[in-house]
């Protein structure tokens, strides 16, 4: 396998999380992802959607774009590509939560979506560090 046939995780860079005391979600939509079908050699097109709750590090976007471009000559199944992106981001960032969704275009009449997760989704924290939704004291709970 030549360098052009492998993705390039070393392209990924990070910067310090400017708000590590708070759980907040970062989302990326990458609608122009391409890789190659390992069976036919034909291009596969997908939208890759990332959401994560950072801990100490955030991914730098230009490096992430270049990293995604490195898959253009990679022959891999949809499941492998999506899991690889998840694994590489977890190794780089060690996030509190990460989800990678690959929405692959129709091939052979089948639309494929692959979703990989790392960590548990955490409810938004209220001021004071307590999880869950904020309810005013004395306020009634809404009826179902």
* Domain boundaries along the sequence of the chain: 8-118
- Check if the beta carbon of residue 9 is closer than 8 Å to that of residue 65: no
Q: Which of 61, 63, 59, 56 is nearest to 20 (CA)?
A: 56
Tokens of 23: 């759980």
- What's the rounded Cα separation, in Å, for the pair 132 and 108? 44
Q: Is the pLDDT of residue 84 over 60?
A: yes
CB neighbours of residue 47 within 10 Å: 15
Give the model's pLDDT for residue 5. Answer: 67
Catalytically active residues are 37, 44
- Check if the beta carbon of residue 34 is closer than 8 Å to that of residue 72: yes
Instruction: Let me know if domain 8-118 sits in CATH 3.30.70.920.
Output: no
- What's the rounded Cα separation, in Å, for the pair 122 and 51? 13
Position of tokens 């990458």?
Answer: 30
- Check if the beta carbon of residue 15 is closer than 8 Å to that of residue 60: yes
| Residue bearing the bigger pLDDT, 127 or 49 | 49
Q: Is the pLDDT of residue 131 over 60?
A: no
Give the model's pLDDT for residue 123. Answer: 58
């Amino acid at each position: 396998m030549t360098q052009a046939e492998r993705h390039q995780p070393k392209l990924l860079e990070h910067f310090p999380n400017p708000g590590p005391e708070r759980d907040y979600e970062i989302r990326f939509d990458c609608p122009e992802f391409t890789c190659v079908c390992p069976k036919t050699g034909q291009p596969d097109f997908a939208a890759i959607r990332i959401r994560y709750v950072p801990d100490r590090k955030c991914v730098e976007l230009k490096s992430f774009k270049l990293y995604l471009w490195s898959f253009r000559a990679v022959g891999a199944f949809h499941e492998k590509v999506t899991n690889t992106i998840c694994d590489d981001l977890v190794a780089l960032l060690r996030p509190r939560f990460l989800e990678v969704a690959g929405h692959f275009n129709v091939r052979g009449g089948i639309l494929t979506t692959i979703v990989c997760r790392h960590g548990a989704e955490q409810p938004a924290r209220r001021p004071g560090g307590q999880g869950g939704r904020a309810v005013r004291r004395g306020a009634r709970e809404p009826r179902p």
